[in-house]
Structure 1
Amino acid sequence: MLYLQSIVIVRPGTAEDEYSNEQDDWGAGATRIPVSGVNVQPAGGSSEDTDDKEVVVTGWRLYTPRGMDLDLRETDRVEALNTTLQVAGKVARWPAPGGGVHHVEADLVEVS
């Protein structure tokens, strides 16, 4: 019953700016990978930074069920819960006894 959510992994393409520098393209050049059967939960609470401007950072955690690997990279974004989340740090692929992946966990953050 826990793994009923669907997400979209958004992987940036590349584009050149006006100085021929390569940069991430999150628009038309991005690849969108739909995934179903995962779980996204609140994790770590929220924090506020009010020094220069009001910013709220909320932590989330993505889990896959046993036996499900996920093509998720630390440079990706995840669309879930009607918002866009950033992958925070390395994606954890927990090994299964006997080989393969037991499940995947990833920290996500929402900055608003």
Structure 2
Amino acid sequence: MSVLYQQSGVIIRPAVTTDRYGNQRPDYGSAAERIPLGQINVQPAGGSSEDTSDRQLTVTGWLLISAPGTMPDLRETDRIEIDGQVLEVTGKVGRWPTPPGLRHIEAQLKEVA
């Protein structure tokens, strides 16, 4: 395995709960499923932005790439926990299923702190 894909994390897949008004909402708390995720590379992408009008808010972009030959089950509704950071998947997850030795996924992530 390449040294580029030695990071690991946890996929946080939300449970679906119903609020008091009957709306279904994702629940990323204790009811969420936690799925181990290995052989990934996460790196800064897209820069960051700040908003200080109401409170200090920094949004940082990240790019997740899985190792060649892997196809983790990552969904656009998931979050990823890596090195103590919780990152949100933004948009659709890119999937490259062929050729088998090079198949992989890529996903844009963001951290809001």
Q: TM-score, normalised by structure 1?
A: 0.90
| Cα separation, 2, equivalents of 1:19 and 1:44 | 37
> How many residues are paired up?
111
Root-mean-square deviation over aligned CA pairs: 1.6
Q: Which residue does the alignment assign to 1:66? A: 68
- Structure 1 residues without counterparts, runs of 5 or longer: none
The one-letter amino acid of 1:107's match is Q
Quote the sequence identity (%): 54
Q: TM-score, normalised by structure 2?
A: 0.89
| Cα separation, 1, equivalents of 2:25 and 2:101 | 34
Q: Which residue does the alignment assign to 1:8? A: 10
Q: Report deviation, 1:53.
A: 2.2
Q: Which residue does the alignment assign to 1:106? A: 107
Q: Report deviation, 1:101.
A: 6.6
* Larger CA deviation: 10-19 vs 67-76: 10-19
Q: Which residue does the alignment assign to 1:34? A: 36
| Cα separation, 1, equivalents of 2:92 and 2:24 | 23
Q: Which residue does the alignment assign to 2:92? A: 90
| Cα separation, 1, equivalents of 2:45 and 2:83 | 14
The one-letter amino acid of 2:8's match is S
- Structure 2 residues without counterparts, runs of 5 or longer: none
SS of residue matched to 1:2: helix
The one-letter amino acid of 2:106's match is E
Q: Is the 8 A contact 2:13 2:33 kept in 1?
A: yes
Equivalent residue for 2:57, pick from 55, 58, 61: 55
